Amino acid sequence: MDILQIVIVIGILMLIAKPLGNYMYHVFSNESNRTDKIFGPIEKPIFWIIGLKNRTGMSWRKYAISFVLTNVVLVAVSFVLLRVQNGLPLNPNAIGNMEPTLVMNTVISFMTNTNLQHYSGETGLTYFSQMAVIMMMMFTSAATGLSVAVAFVRGITTKGNTLGNFFEDFVKAHIRIFFPLAILVTLVLVGLHVPQTLDPTLSVTTLEGVTQQIAIGPVASLESIKHLGTNGGGFFGVNSAHPFENPNGTTNVIEILSMWALAAGLPFMYGRFAKNKKQGWVIFSAMMILFLVFLTIAYTAEKSGNPLLSGLGIDASQGSMEGKEVRFGIAQSTLFTTVTTAATTGTVNNMHDTLTPLGGLVPLAEMMLNVVFGGKGVGLVNMLMYAILAVFISGLMVGRTPEFLGRKIESREMKLIAIAILTHPFIILAPTAIAFLTDLGKGAITNPGYHGISQVLYEFTSSAANNGSGFEGLADNTPFWNISTGLVMFFGRYISMIALLAVAGSMNRKQWVPETLGTFRTDNALFTFLLIGTIILIGALTFLPAIVLGPIAEHLTIR
């Protein structure tokens, strides 16, 4: 039954991923299509208000400046709103203002599409803040990431001197993708009994006569964009393990597909832009193969359970259920865990801190590689970055100038790709080492030993990958963790984005090179496995020592 559940969810994904990819291609190809009749009248006044009459294309520099400045403005507005939320409307529970370092961490977290939470949503935010700040940034950060991914794809696949217009892409991402899907998913979740209300916290009396406070609020609308935008921040502190956010198996599947489907459709969008659908299948296949390997490891580890419990005479035949919801079981819990860190969503329906060592290794490794589907465009862009690197390495081996999609790959592109590749492990491993050198860092560890290493490593890995999930045993709501993870989230988002936009701009300006018999094919099974090998090799060289000190050492110890 467990395997059948997983197969059904993956089967549904396979059915909807390609149509979604084709739809996104029509949205961003800027060619006339039938959706213009529906969304054109909505977009036209928006373009008029923001002064976007001609929608001329932008260079990579102008595109990068546009999306960064847009994000800066949204961060500034959000910071102010959170600092004065106590005096704003829609605060029936009289929630106070946020502490400054926590506000800094929160606004950076949500604007970078990380959604790392060092607060509990139901007690830390007013309804107004949940909607005007958190949900607003969930939409805008997802639209920003998707726009940058589309610009990168345009740059490496089309002929011209521009990557498109950021503001046009940004508006279209909202109007044609995220708003319609969010409304649909919200209505479905409300129909499945997820709360959507502005009423204050309920005060109820239990059968024992005890008064209990039950938090409610506009949950369903936040849940929809939280997953569709691969954001991950929960309305409640326990996220999608809360019965109001995720009541049953049906909502669990809907949330899995919501955070997975658009990311899985992006490779097919790329294939359409490249005028070669096989290119899209190569990227999708590499992502899916890596995903299935990680899912198998996670499911097998959790199903095998903890041998220490068996040694104590406790029946562990059902596997490791510690930290998991009975209504989901091991299959839906491990699938959710693997998808949420593959798609860099960060939402959780079980406690990652209580996963078995190898089960906890899976989300860590997925975030370290950051190519297995990824969030809104992150996985696709990073996978294409590794594809360019794989072609470059192959070209060096045979003594030929490497080419990718009809353009020569030269030193400028490789220097920029090196910056993007090296930044990721640096902003994970360096802060992790610093945390262990200071009492401010070590003092947050609640489970000493090898697991404590995993807790700290996971926090910075999640921040750098803009994922947001955590080994929640870490006591992380302190100035040290708020500031350090805030900086890691910032650099993890913008350095790689800007570097890869520069790669796209450089590739876009190159002359088209005709394909010959000596051209290395990048649309076949051989390249798929070469791509996977390149990813695993680089990932192992950079992260294996840290993983050995954490989850692998813990796994060997308990056995």
Q: Tell me the per-residue pLDDT of 28-49, one tens digit each, with 9 for 90 and over.
A: 998 888 889 999 999 999 999 9
Which pLDDT value is given to residue 111? 93
Helix (H, G, I), strand (E, B) or coil at 42: helix
Which pLDDT value is given to residue 316? 67
| Strand ranges in 314-427 using DSSP code E only, listed in sequence order | 403-404, 407-408
Tokens of 44: 């036209």
Could you give phi then psi for residue 484, rounded to 5 degrees? Answer: -65, -45
User: Between vectors from CA 133 to CA 163 and to CA 479, what angle results, nearest 5°?
Assistant: 100
Average pLDDT score over residue span 247-269: 96
Interatomic CA distance for residues 266 and 142, integer angstroms:
14
Bridge partner residues of 203 (DSSP)? 213
Indicate whether 504 pLDDT > 80.
Answer: yes
Indicate whether 170 pLDDT > 80.
Answer: yes
pLDDT digit string, tens, across residues 365-392: 999 999 999 888 889 999 999 999 999 9
Which pLDDT value is given to residue 228? 95
Interatomic CA distance for residues 38 and 35, integer angstroms:
5
Helix (H, G, I), strand (E, B) or coil at 137: helix
Interatomic CA distance for residues 543 and 520, integer angstroms:
30
Helix (H, G, I), strand (E, B) or coil at 218: strand
Number of helical H runs and strand E runs in the chain: 22, 4
Sign for the pseudo-dihedral over CA of 147, 152, 157, 158: positive
Interatomic CA distance for residues 232 and 219, integer angstroms:
13
Tokens of 508: 């876009």
Interatomic CA distance for residues 498 and 68, integer angstroms:
9
Average pLDDT score over residue span 240-254: 95
Interatomic CA distance for residues 343 and 229, integer angstroms:
10
Interatomic CA distance for residues 226 and 347, integer angstroms:
8
**552-557, long-range: CB within 8 Å, 24+ apart, which pairs?**
552/357, 552/361, 553/450, 553/453, 554/357, 554/449, 554/450, 554/451, 554/454, 555/356, 555/357, 555/358, 555/361, 557/450
Cβ proximity of 304 and 318 under 8 Å? no
Which pLDDT value is given to residue 326? 92
Interatomic CA distance for residues 139 and 221, integer angstroms:
11
Interatomic CA distance for residues 74 and 137, integer angstroms:
8
DSSP 8-state secondary structure symbol assigned to residue 239: G
pLDDT digit string, tens, across residues 92-150: 888 999 889 889 989 999 999 988 888 888 888 999 999 999 999 999 999 999 999 99
Average pLDDT score over residue span 81-90: 92
Which pLDDT value is given to residue 406? 87
User: Which is nearest to 474 in space by CA: 505, 446, 453, 507?
Assistant: 446
Interatomic CA distance for residues 110 and 350, integer angstroms:
21
Indicate whether 398 pLDDT > 80.
Answer: no
Bridge partner residues of 218 (DSSP)? 196
Cβ proximity of 531 and 282 under 8 Å? yes
Indicate whether 475 pLDDT > 90.
Answer: no
Interatomic CA distance for residues 437 and 121, integer angstroms:
31
| HSE-CB for 176 with a 13 A CA cutoff | 28
Cβ proximity of 412 and 510 under 8 Å? no
Encoded amino acid at 307, one letter: P
Interatomic CA distance for residues 42 and 45, integer angstroms:
6
pLDDT digit string, tens, across residues 410-435: 889 999 999 999 999 999 999 999 99
Tokens of 3: 């395997």
Interatomic CA distance for residues 161 and 59, integer angstroms:
7
Interatomic CA distance for residues 134 and 46, integer angstroms:
22
User: Which is nearest to 523 in space by CA: 289, 283, 264, 268?
Assistant: 283
User: Which of 116-130, 292-306, 307-321, 505-519 is predicted least confidently?
Assistant: 307-321
DSSP 8-state secondary structure symbol assigned to residue 343: T
C-alpha R_g of the chain = 23
Helix (H) or strand (E) holding 531: helix 525-547
Indicate whether 312 pLDDT > 80.
Answer: no
Which pLDDT value is given to residue 155? 93
Indicate whether 158 pLDDT > 90.
Answer: no
Alpha helix (H) residue ranges in 438-524:
439-442, 450-464, 479-509
Cβ proximity of 359 and 365 under 8 Å? no
Average model confidence (pLDDT) across the chain: 91
Tokens of 81: 């709103």
